[in-house]
Amino acid sequence: MARHNYKIRPAPKWEDGFFLPATPIPIAKNPNDWSLIEGLQSIQALARNAVEATTLYSMTDPCAHAHGFGTRIWVPGDPDIIRHLFVKNSSHLKMQPIRQMLLRPVLKDGLITAEGKQWRRTRHLLAPVFTPRNTDGFADAMAASTEAALPELFGGEAQVFLSDKMLNLAYTVLSDTLFSGEIEEDTARVLADIAQLLNLLGRPNPMDMLKVPAWIPRLNRMRGLRAVKRVRAMISDATDKRMAAKARGEAVPDDFLTLLINSGDDDNAPLTGDEIEDQMLTFIGAGHETTSRAMTWMLYLLSQDKERRAKVEAEVDALDLSLPAEQWADHIPFAMACFEETMRLFPPAPIISRELTADVQYKDREFKTGDAVMINLWALHRHRNLWDRPDAFMPERFLPEARGSIDRFQYLPFGLGHRVCIGQRFALKEAGILIALIMRDYRFDYASDVAPWPKMRITVQADNAMPMKVIRR
């Protein structure tokens, strides 16, 4: 068999009552034994679709490692090693240069890309914005925004591309909580710009991997940067208007933008206009595509596993929608287990990569300054040493009674340590609300003979935008 198996697309299958979606066959040959040609092929595969470049080695070894692009790269698959590196030794990690090269020109000092003093200041100022009280306070707005959007998204057409609809919905919900709908631009136009922006963030350029100097232009980047400029202008316009309204003493909405404008405390100056722009762009980049991809995959998995779909439907039908929306997720445990299991199989933000700034010892293993450490959630979440039936959709493992047997550091959809996702609670509340409102009224049946194929960009998405027949329940 060829070392790269990307041309072989195995069909999805059933095993003992569990659905196994179609996924690439992991590369069997250990990367340390690759020839030069195979190494170059892997750069191509990484740029095209990194899921297809996953090796069996990274899914079976406690700490796979290989040399790539002149650096030693570790891919830990053992929760204890992950804890040791990312929690006990977090002060010896910095963001990996290739990641920063992709993200920083776009997100600048946004929380995801800030480092050192700037990151500490921003995280400190944003912590009060993302308290449970504030996050839960957004739940009713999220529910209202979802309810208003659903008829237009799913009411008209018999068949839809679910990926597009979910992106639209998640962006609408996020933008309503960020700016309270005070964005004048047309949603479709903004979404097209954001799609270009995310494409720019999510596609490692082979020139970057080969360390070609930054001053040599990457053509795919220029078009994306024009889209970034337009999105930034939209944010700064909304911020200026809000600040002016506040200065005039007018009542302003209780949303993320107002919280950011009101940031600051005795020891820390409030966020500046430029910092607010960076954070809002970061929230847009980090906060809607992730949730929408997970929702899309979940609805696909349930379209195949009709028994479990019926269980989720029974749960959402029994949910009392007069309860505050912030509580909905707590009342639909099986649905939320499906959501978590979906993020295991199709992690929305699959790569957590860092570089070591000091030597670190773990038992007899030596991690050296300059080594790259990359948690590949695709491999970790399907690691053969850690999971029973790693490739199967088995939501029951996330039910409260079973969950205790999952190590905190073997399942990391929201990252870990001090750089754990700041929007985790927001995302889970939102997922509960979307599932409840969508699945109460609509059912989706997969509408193609060819199974969706996972494609890794900045998120893990379906290569065919997920065609679905919409059935009004």
Residue numbers of the site for ligand HEM (CB under 6 A)?
A: 111-112, 123, 282-283, 286-287, 290-291, 294, 348-349, 352, 413-415, 419, 421-423, 426-427
Cβ closest to ligand HEM, residue 107 vs residue 360: 107
Closest residue to ligand HEM in the complex (CB): 423
Cβ closest to ligand HEM, residue 408 vs residue 473: 408
* Token reading at 209: 């991997």
- The neighbour count for residue 383, using CB atoms within 10 Å, is 21
Cβ closest to ligand HEM, residue 378 vs residue 426: 426
The C-alpha atoms of residue 429 and residue 325 are separated, in whole angstroms, by: 8
Shortest distance, position 320 Cβ to ligand HEM, whole Å? 25
Cβ closest to ligand HEM, residue 227 vs residue 422: 422
Shortest distance, position 264 Cβ to ligand HEM, whole Å? 18
Cβ closest to ligand HEM, residue 111 vs residue 201: 111
Shortest distance, position 461 Cβ to ligand HEM, whole Å? 13
* Token reading at 315: 């749960």
> In Å, how far are 10, 80, 223, 358, 413 from 349, measured between CA atoms?
24, 21, 24, 26, 7
Q: Which residue type occupies 289?
A: E
- The neighbour count for residue 250, using CB atoms within 10 Å, is 9
Shortest distance, position 347 Cβ to ligand HEM, whole Å? 7
Cβ closest to ligand HEM, residue 263 vs residue 282: 282
Q: Is the dihedral of CA 173, 177, 180, 183 positive or negative?
A: negative
Shortest distance, position 151 Cβ to ligand HEM, whole Å? 24
Cβ closest to ligand HEM, residue 387 vs residue 414: 414
Cβ closest to ligand HEM, residue 111 vs residue 194: 111
The pairing of strands 71-76 and 63-68 is: antiparallel
The C-alpha atoms of residue 187 and residue 171 are separated, in whole angstroms, by: 8
Cβ closest to ligand HEM, residue 4 vs residue 58: 58
* Token reading at 163: 């990926």
Shortest distance, position 86 Cβ to ligand HEM, whole Å? 9
Shortest distance, position 429 Cβ to ligand HEM, whole Å? 9
Shortest distance, position 414 Cβ to ligand HEM, whole Å? 5
Axis-axis angle for helices 333-345, 306-318 (nearest 10): 140
Contacts of 113 (CB under 8 A, 6+ apart): 95, 100, 103, 104, 107, 282
DSSP-H helix ranges across 217-305: 219-247, 256-261, 273-287, 289-304
Closest by CA to 387, choosing from 79, 82, 86, is 79
Shortest distance, position 398 Cβ to ligand HEM, whole Å? 14
63 has which bridge partners?
A: 76
